[in-house]
Amino acid sequence: TNESTKKILTMTTTTMRSSHSCVFAVVLLALAAQGAQGFSVTPSTTKFRPTILAAAAQEYGDGMDQEAMMESDMLIVVDGNDVVVHDVVASKKQAHAFNSEQPRGIAHRAFSFFLFNKNNEMLLTRRADSKITFPGVWTNTACSHPIHGMTPNEVDEVPAAYPNFPGIKHASIRKLKHELGIDPMYVPHDGIQFISRFHYWAADTKTYGSETPWGEHEVDYVLFLHCKDVEPVVVANPDEVDEFKYVSIEGLKEMFEDPSLTWSPWFRGIMEGGAFDWWEDLDNSMAGKNTHPEVHFFDPPKDHFASYND
């Protein structure tokens, strides 16, 4: 390592507000400055973690595996109209448990984030094969949940919070950093546009078969961000994302026709429920002209019904 690279890494560990993803981004920049070409995130790059992260600040997800986050994340339980049920708190594990006594899990709040670059292409991701629920499926940029006990607060009250929904936007900024290493500087809070909400459920039969113990039951917020000027640096967390790519509208439609690819049921439902139109009309969507307050319900495809589902 030359002296300029040492200086960059020293500045990183002493002055930067870091998670492992953010540190990885700086490491990549340092290597790029030395002339590295076509550098990509592979399991071998994780060798940087033990030494650099010693000085990094503890942030969401640090030192936690998928099982730990399933136990510790306390989700926002809602009714079918997205009103918070304050006297019920469920862990991520409890809310996603599907069985004959709880055939559709526990309804909770979630978001599906769609990030577009200057070419109006969407950042598409494939969930890590190590994920507990819906592993290995292609989906939108990031999919996760607002949770209780976070600072800034991630619990929005409806209908009062419409259409700004500051809490769920805070949650999306947190998860973009955790899953994709996208620094918050690329995700201005006031640049995120709420579009719509979908209420759906789906059993994870693709992974576990007809007796699956897992599924989703969410009121899912659709959030758009259009990065017209600077494309965010993406450093995927291998515990969350196995692949990512930017796709055009036509490119995504072609991927949908590929029988070898599997998709998250919420992403397919959102795209079929209006997202292609909102994408084609991206400027107006970002101006709020395609935003609406209704919560739209959809059932999953039949192949996402478990044996105990009606």
Contact assessment for residue 16 and residue 22, using Cβ atoms and an 8 Å cutoff: yes
- 22 counts as catalytic: no
User: What is the CA 218 to chain-centroid distance, rounded?
Assistant: 14
Give the whole-angstrom CA distance, residue 76 versus residue 86: 8
Q: Judge whether 143 counts as a catalytic residue.
A: yes
User: Which residues of the chain register pLDDT less than 70?
Assistant: 1-58
DSSP string, 197-249: EEEEEEE-HHHH-TT-SBEEEEEEEEEEEE-SS-PPP----TTTEEEEEEE-H
Of residues 121, 179, 218, 240, which has the active-site annotation?
Answer: 218
Instruction: Specify the pLDDT at position 58.
Output: 57
Tell me the β-bridge partners of 110. Answer: 220
**What is the per-residue pLDDT across 168-178, written as a single tens digit (0 to 9) for each?**
999 999 999 99
Catalytic residue among 143, 154, 179, 240: 143
Distance CA 173, CA 192 (A): 9
Give me 30's structure tokens.
Answer: 């340092």
pTM attached to this predicted model? 0.81
Quick count: other Cβ atoms within 10 Å of Cβ 157?
Answer: 12
Please check whether residue 80 is in contact with residue 295, taking contact to mean a CB–CB distance below 8 angstroms.
Answer: yes
Instruction: State residue 32's pLDDT score.
Output: 37
Distances (CA, A) of 83 to 77, 107, 108, 160: 8, 11, 10, 11
Report yes or no: 167 and 266 within 8 Å, Cβ to Cβ. no
Predicted confidence at residue 6, as pLDDT, reads: 38
Burial of 179 (0-12, 13-18, 19+ CB in 10 A): buried
154: phi then psi, degrees, rounded to nearest 5: -110, 5
